[in-house]
Structure 1
Amino acid sequence: MQSNEAFHQVSRSIKPGHRFFKGTSQSTKWYVKKTLSSSVVILLISLTVAYGHSTFPHFPDTVVVAKQHNSVTIPCNVKTKRPVTWRFTTDGEDEEVADNHDGFNLTVSDVDVPMLGEYSCWNGVEMLSSAYLRFEAVDEEYGSLHCRAKSYSCNFSCKWNHSDFTAVRLGLGHSCTDGEKSCTWINSTGRHSDGGLQFEITHSLDPCKEEKNKLEVTAEAINHYSYLKITKRFYLREIVQPDPPKRLSCQEMPGQNLKVNITPASSWSSPHSYFSLEHEIEYVYRDNGKTGHSTSADIPKGITKLRARSRDSLQEVKLWSKWSPWISTSTCISTIMS
């Protein structure tokens, strides 16, 4: 992402140990003030649970998101009759913000990389609340999140491919899109074979009824510099991609043909008469090594090996499964006899 590259370029220009509260030049000086009222509109995200490790000691309860060089207000979420003080923590270093005016809101102006970190409000030695300040990131390629359903059962899977973020979580429904407390966030179940984070999501759709409303999946991701939010909307039928066929068996027919029987994957919805699949068979000719394809169950006898793939036969969006492993013709014929 170009925006993340810019963040890293700025961070590399900062000298180690350089602080930005006092004694800095006007080009890098912090303009931090407290105010009881704010005209700045901020995006306040509750991030109570997430998967993955991070560069901070615990995943933040609250994140305040800002655009680079804009102003942002950070609220103290616990009110008290006594004055509060503010502290700033980053990379294990803690400092009191050099502004002692009373107030429950802290305004950070001209947000830049040195200002990213944890801001906490205090009543004496008691911390009342804290929030992490992060840049607002944009998923420029919109390719970080991919979802797939193996069938019309009550769950589907999503994969997160963006390696720049160290903590990611997913949620289903409007409550997650809107950042409501009622959202049930979902953690990753592990890593995909290609390194992406894998998520399993359960839904309550009836597979025998027509879908009227799209599913809404929201992903939230965070790293040391930025916060990213993505929402994808789709019908379940648009992401159905069966697993490869479970078994191929071949029957020798009179003449020059083989009849191929294809058993759907165990994960495919049943009854198969209702959830019908269409198949494509790929085979290799014995005499010249060329490949042929057929969407019919009848294929030539003079072949050395074959494989098949499947897709939903009724939907407009039809995603082919991966190919089944190659099997020899002799194995295919012996399978039907076993």
Structure 2
Amino acid sequence: MTLLSWITAFLLIGATAADQQAKLNHFPENFAVAKQGKDSVSLTCLTTTTGPVTWKHNNDEESDFKDNMSQSGHNLIVRDVEAPLLGEYSCWRDGTKLSSTLLLQETEEEEDITDSLLTCRAKSYDCNFSCRWTEGKYRAVRLGIGPDCTNGLPTCHWVSSSGQPDSEGFQFELTHNLSSFGEESTMLEVTAEAIDDDFFFLKKTKKFYLRDIAVVPDSPRIVSMKVVQSQLNVSIEPPSSWSTPHSFFALEHEIEYILRDNGETIISSSSLIPKKISKLRARSRDPLVFSTWSQWTPWENWKNSCQCRKKQTSELSPKCLERCKRKMERRRTEQSQNLLK
């Protein structure tokens, strides 16, 4: 191939890359991967009809790389695969597109790259967990669980990305069939396949035990607040997404509250807190593995802080005492006005 052909090819890549990348908002159904160190890859026209077919590379029938291609029946053999030869190959008959295949190039990455690209966590010990793919240069990603996915078998159930990633990458919801109640002897295998903007293909498998997944519960529920003498008894329940039975999958809770008198903020692990507070919120975690704390619940106001009739003057804060005095003065004024009528 001449130098001019290579220059022309790279210019054409720039013109076709945007169109191809626009199509990569989901993982392609048909693709072939040119392995490192192999001379050629065979592409198959997926049609059940007979008759001659014509192949196009990136919708161009007149390729500058015909010396790298040879047709055998419905198949196209692509040799010496390099960057200019990557992209979409489609087969046609009488102006009708029969099928298309995306030709990708295998890429080599560091052995431990999966740990930095793929992080997994769960809201409970049930069979569902989520994984996030954090590398932004990959435009289409899919994940699968089990040896079938690791070995690339057609029986693998893949979960594919769709659309554009958010600021933290692609997120996937996965399901496993391991028991949460006993000792683990089987590791989870999560296989990731990813395609970047230049049609390079990455495949990595991450193996870990279920117990190694970071379990972060959803925010708990504050179900009641009751006055018990000089304290407030706060009742907290696990979130609806948490594993059951709760007696086995116990959570510990923390309550953060703000004192009404001086505005001091305090965090307590007890369900009994001072009743002279203005507002409170709660969070939870698994105490057995010291998991990450959940997000705090929204702040809840303690509305019984100034019940003037039910409290002795000594129990009221200066702020509430002043409020009660003004309330009593308004009441006396109204009574006096009623007597004058």
Same fold (TM over 0.5): yes
- The correspondence for 1:246, drawn from 214, 221, 236, is 221
Query: How do 1:230-241 and structure 2 match up within 5 A?
Result: 230-237=204-211, 238-241=213-216
Partner of 2:3: 24
Does structure 1 conserve the Cα–Cα contact (< 8 Å) formed by 2:28 and 2:102?
A: no
Query: Which residue in the other structure is 1:37 paired with?
Result: none
What is the Cα deviation at residue 281 of structure 1? 1.4
Deviations 1:148-175 (A, max 9, x none): 2222222222334444333222101122
Q: Paired residue for 1:275? A: 249
- CA change 1:189–1:301 in 2 (3 A) is farther
Tell me the SS of whatever aligns to 2:148: helix
TM-superposed deviation, 1:290? 2.8
Q: What stretches of structure 2 of length at least 5 have no aligned partner?
A: 10-20, 46-51, 306-341
Q: 2:31 aligns with which of 47, 58, 62?
A: 62
Counterpart pick for 1:327 among 272, 278, 300: 300
Partners of 1:249 and 1:56 lie apart in 2 by 47
Structure 2 CA distance, aligned partners of 1:147 and 1:290?
A: 37
Give the secondary structure class of the aligned counterpart of 2:190: strand
Kindly tell me the number of residue pairs found equivalent between the two proteins.
280
Task: Provide the rounded CA distance (Å) in 2 between the counterparts of 1:233 and 1:57.
Answer: 25
Please point out which of 86, 89, 111 is paired with 2:57.
89
Q: Percent identity?
A: 41
Q: Counterparts of 1:94 and 1:148 in 2: how far apart (Å)?
A: 47
Structure 1, residues 165-201: CA drift from partner, whole Å, max 9, x if none? Answer: 3322210112212222221112358889867544222
Q: Say which of 59, 75, 81 aligns to 2:42.
A: 75
1:227 is matched with: 201
Relative distance call for 1:142 and 1:206 in structure 2 (3 A) is closer
Structure 1 runs not aligned, ≥5 long: 1-21, 31-51, 79-83, 333-338
Once residues 251 and 118 of structure 1 are traced to their aligned partners in structure 2, the CA distance between those partners, rounded to angstroms, is 67
Give the direction of change, closer, same or farther, for the CA distance of 1:289–1:228 in structure 2 (3 Å limit).
Answer: farther
Query: Per the alignment, in what secondary structure is the counterpart of residue 330 of structure 1?
Result: coil
Aligned to 1:134: 105
Between the aligned partners of 2:275 and 2:77, the Cα distance in structure 1 is: 78
Q: Distance in 2 between matches of 1:102 and 1:267?
A: 56
The one-letter code of the counterpart of 2:139 is: T
- Check whether the contact 1:119–1:132 (CA below 8 A) recurs between aligned residues: yes
Helix, strand or coil: the match of 2:143?
A: strand
Note if contact 2:30-2:100 (Cα within 8 Å) is conserved in structure 1. Answer: no
1:174 and 2:142 matched: no
3-state DSSP of counterpart to 2:219: coil
Determine the C-alpha separation between the residues in 2 that align with 1:23 and 1:193: 43
1:297 matched to 2:271? The reply is yes
Deviation of residue 310 (structure 1)?
A: 0.8
What is aligned with 1:12?
none
Aligned residue among 78, 88, 93 for 1:118: 88
> What is the CA distance between 1:325 and its match in structure 2?
0.9
Instruction: Give the C-alpha shift of residue 59 in structure 1.
Output: 2.0
- Rounded to whole Å, the distance in 1 between the matches of 2:92 and 2:163 is 38
Structure that is richer in helix per residue: 2
Deviations 1:211-239 (A, max 9, x none): 22222212222244122334333333333
Q: 1:173/1:65 Cα in 2 relative to 1: closer, same or farther (>3 Å)? A: same
How far apart in 2 are the matches of 1:212 and 1:56? 38
Which one of the candidate residues 80, 94, 108 is aligned to 2:80? Answer: 108
Partners of 1:244 and 1:310 within 8 A in 2: yes
1:120 Cα deviation after fit: 6.9
Contact 2:122 2:215 in 1 (8 A): yes
CA gap 1:292/1:65 in 2 versus in 1, 3 angstroms:
farther
Contact residue 118 and residue 130 of structure 1 kept, 8 A: yes
Q: 1:224/1:190 Cα in 2 relative to 1: closer, same or farther (>3 Å)?
A: closer
1:98 matches 2:66: yes
Match of 1:335 in 2: none
Alpha-carbon separation, structure 1, partners of 2:102 and 2:162: 27
Look at both structures and tell me which one has the larger radius of gyration over its CA atoms.
2
